[in-house]
């Protein structure tokens, strides 16, 4: 084994040991988390227009009470106004939450005056930075509605109000490398959580898509057709293959990749079996 290969394996082991699992607040997911996810892992909870923020907040509170470190998604377009934001902050702080993820979200029209993530991030800063950790999204592949240069610029604008970036789903190691290089050229130095789809079975993926909501699922598939293609075609995607291909990114100091964020699509048993297998197979 080469020195570089050994370093990459050691880095990947560290990232997998502290992986984050993203879940969708659907019926039964709490039981799946309790049954399959070790309590030393962080669970992030998405938010969507079809379910609203309440489903996110309720699941966050229950999982936190169950002993997990939980990161709720505070979709800006689902927050009505400053008073609503303060209520959410108080509720999450009472639950012991110290980390939130702030995307703009897909609500159209927005619930109130927050039509993008930046105004909500600014307001959180004005509230005294109630959460020590604040994540923002990054888009290695083109956003369906926003120009690439604008998404990179948005990270620059948000950098003073955030502490890390979570990369959106991407299945191409070259695209990831190019994106990280562009982010760093813009002098955005926030650490990156590398977003990786977990092991996904097509039938279960479609089941989860149905639970998300028909309208939302249709919009997802229309705006991200390559994601579905990559996830469900035979032999088309495996998380370990992608991680191997980005191993040089994981060890490059200038990349500052500090975590693996696993998009589980609520397939938590499969995700945890995959993670444990990777930990067993990689040399210590």
Residue 64 located in a structural domain? yes
According to DSSP, the residues that pair with 101 across neighbouring strands are 73, 135
**Domain of residue 132, residue span:** 3-279
Residue 284 located in a structural domain? no
Distance CA 56, CA 84 (A): 15
Residue 35 located in a structural domain? yes
- What pTM was computed for the model? 0.88
Whether the CB-CB separation of 26 and 266 falls below 8 Å is answered with: yes
How many domains does one find in the chain? 1
Residue 250 located in a structural domain? yes
pLDDT per residue over 70-106, tens digit each? 999 999 999 999 999 999 999 999 999 999 999 999 8
- From first CA to last CA, the distance across the chain in angstroms is 13
Residue 18 located in a structural domain? yes
Tell me which residue of 99, 61, 24, 40 sits closest to 268, measured CA to CA: 24
pLDDT given for residue 78 in this prediction? 97
φ and ψ at residue 166, rounded to 5 degrees: -110, 120
Residue 166 located in a structural domain? yes
CATH number of the domain to which 113 belongs: 3.20.20.220
Question: Taking 90 as the threshold, does the pLDDT of residue 147 lie above it?
Answer: no
- Give the angle 157-155-145 at the CA atoms, nearest 5°: 105
pLDDT per residue over 127-136, tens digit each? 999 999 999 9
Distance CA 197, CA 126 (A): 35
pLDDT per residue over 226-281, tens digit each? 656 666 666 667 888 889 888 888 888 889 999 999 999 899 999 999 999 999 88
Residue 41 located in a structural domain? yes
Question: Taking 70 as the threshold, does the pLDDT of residue 166 lie above it?
Answer: yes
């Amino acid at each position: 084994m080469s020195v570089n290969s050994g370093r990459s394996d050691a880095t990947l082991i560290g990232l997998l040991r502290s992986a984050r699992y993203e879940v969708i607040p659907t019926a039964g997911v709490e039981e799946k988390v309790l049954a399959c996810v070790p309590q030393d892992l962080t669970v992030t909870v998405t938010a969507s227009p079809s379910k609203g923020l309440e489903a996110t907040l309720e699941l966050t509170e229950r999982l936190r009470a169950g002993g997990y470190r939980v990161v709720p998604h505070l979709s800006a377009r689902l927050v009505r106004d400053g008073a609503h934001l303060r209520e959410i902050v108080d509720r999450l702080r009472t639950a012991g939450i110290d980390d939130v993820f702030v995307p703009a979200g897909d609500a159209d029209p927005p619930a109130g005056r927050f039509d993008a993530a930046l105004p909500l991030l600014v307001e959180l800063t004005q509230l005294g930075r109630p959460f020590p950790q604040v994540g923002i999204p990054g888009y290695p592949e083109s956003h369906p509605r926003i120009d690439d240069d604008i998404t990179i610029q948005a990270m620059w604008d948000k950098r003073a109000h955030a502490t890390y970036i979570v990369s959106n789903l991407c299945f191409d190691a070259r695209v990831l490398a190019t994106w990280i290089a562009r982010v760093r050229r813009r002098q955005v130095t926030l650490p990156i959580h590398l977003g990786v789809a977990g092991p996904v079975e097509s039938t279960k993926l479609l089941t989860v898509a149905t639970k998300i909501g028909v309208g939302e699922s249709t919009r997802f598939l229309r705006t991200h057709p390559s994601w579905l293609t990559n996830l469900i075609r035979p032999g088309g995607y495996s998380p370990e293959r992608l991680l191997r291909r980005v191993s040089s990114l994981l060890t490059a100091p200038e990349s500052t990749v500090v975590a693996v964020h696993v998009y589980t699509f609520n397939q938590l048993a499969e995700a945890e079996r995959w993670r444990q297998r990777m930990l067993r197979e990689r040399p210590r």
